[in-house]
Chain A
């Protein structure tokens, strides 16, 4: 199994390790719920070194990413970050990713671990038409520090003034690349640094009182924040327009991969949508549970779970567009239980937005 450079540090911190797509990763360090609350109320950190970092540069780096990504890379300021999907020619989602603009001719892209091989192959195939080069940064580690106290906790450990790096921007602290981004719905940073520097930073953060958090808490935090998980909430069999990612699709110059398919789908009519759900009674909503309304319209839960911040079962689901939102029932084992439709996100700035 593949290991990140922080593997020993996780074991020393008492992590329960699991096979996560071929990576030996911490699922929790004792209590996933306590880790979740640490990030909502204080500060936590995650080893996300399994993610893939790709640097793209060259005269036509922007042109390449304008073709590759369905969002609009040209609206970025230097150092700004962008969330986007990358589509195949049928409009299906190959992956979702974050791109940081380093300069007019250089970008840093972070893609998912589980999709690394196919992403790299797609990048290589697409970049061939452009005067640009790509280089995977394999000898890097990545630590996400997240929570309302993330910035004040990290600040004394670095020289860069973080107050000058706005949300969704990035900056360098010597060799450390610090993006004010994350996957929790809280303020915080994602730090990309040399592998051999990772354990030193991890230990400094530990000493500063930062709670190590596993992939379990990462999942409940991102679900509460209404953020998609690739492979669950979308994949190559669905377009962004049908799963709540229409807001990431640029409106002009529809020259990106998959644009033709999206245009055809729009003309023909989109018949699916993404909604947020809360279970009215007791139980837990889970990925793949089925939904039905009183007229037979259907849906499926793409991500579900227990929300520690609201103490309710919550889910994101892809449903028939015509579904009657007042009569949705979920099938859990042999029971049909009523669900309520709510706006995403479920939680913002540490507070549940679900009305009682």
Chain B
């Protein structure tokens, strides 16, 4: 069973969100997602200051196996990107919830926070796949 921290929010497309306060969320992909992808060898980060709608493709994670889109979990603007991933994409494998974070997002006004999954809901959603 993959680790799913209780203090984070999730999407069905395997992103996690950490509430940093003041309407800013840090985003990455879950341990389950990185396990499914295998060794990650390339990350295409979103553009800084770019705005995305909920579920917009805003980046790509490529593993030895496949390329997988990263979806913007809520409407908002990118306020930070994890540039360490450009040289060390394997941080997502080694530390998906910490050093392997991907970007930070300042939510737009109409962000639908209720559409996110709780840790419990996310665990349930991946239970069938594990």
Tell whether, in the assembled complex, residue B65 and residue A286 are in contact, meaning their CB atoms are under 8 Å apart.
Answer: no
Please state if B64 and A216 are interface contacts (CB–CB under 8 Å). Answer: yes
Chain A, residues 9-38, CB within 8 Å of chain B (1/0): the string is 000000010000000000110011100000
Q: Check A216/B62 contact, CB under 8 A, given A28-B38, A32-B39.
A: no
A75 within 8 Å of B (CB atoms): no
Q: Residues of B within 8 Å of A, CB-based: how many?
A: 13
B38 touches A283 (CB 8 A): no
Any B CB within 8 A of the CB of A343: no
CB-CB < 8 A to B93: which residues of A?
A: 31
- Chain A: number of interface residues, binned into ranges: 10 to 19
Question: Is A183 part of the binding interface, using a Cβ–Cβ cutoff of 8 Å?
Answer: no
- Looking at the complex, which one of B35, B44, B65 makes contact with A283 (CB distance below 8 Å)? B44
Report if A62 contacts B (CB, 8 A): no
Query: In chain A, residues 321-354, which have Cβ atoms closer than 8 Å to a Cβ of chain B?
Result: 333
Distance of A282 Cα from B93 Cα, bound (Å): 19
Closest residue of chain A to B42, judged by CB? A284
Whether B86 contacts A305 by the Cβ 8 Å rule is no
Bound form: Cα–Cα A27–B35 in Å? 12
CB of B65 within 8 A of CB of A284, answer no
Complex CA–CA separation, A313 to B89 (angstroms)? 14
Name, among A286, A306, A308, A333, the residue most crowded by chain B CB atoms within 10 Å (CB to CB).
Answer: A306
Q: Name the contact of A220 in the complex, choosing from B44, B64, B67 (C-beta under 8 A).
A: B64
CA distance A220 to B38 in the complex (A): 13
Q: Which residue of B lies closest to A220 (CB)?
A: B64
Are B86 and A282 in contact, CB atoms less than 8 angstroms apart? yes
Given A286-B67, A305-B64, A333-B60, CB of A27 within 8 Å of CB of B41: no
Identify A27's interface contact among B38, B42, B44, B86, CB under 8 A: B38
Residues of A within 8 A of B (CB): 16, 27-28, 31-33, 216, 220, 282-284, 286, 305-306, 308, 313, 333
Complex A-B: 21 CB contacts under 8 Å: A16-B35, A16-B38, A28-B38, A31-B39, A31-B93, A32-B38, A32-B64, A32-B65, A216-B38, A282-B42, A282-B44, A283-B62, A284-B67, A305-B64, A306-B41, A306-B42, A306-B62, A306-B64, A308-B64, A313-B42, A333-B60
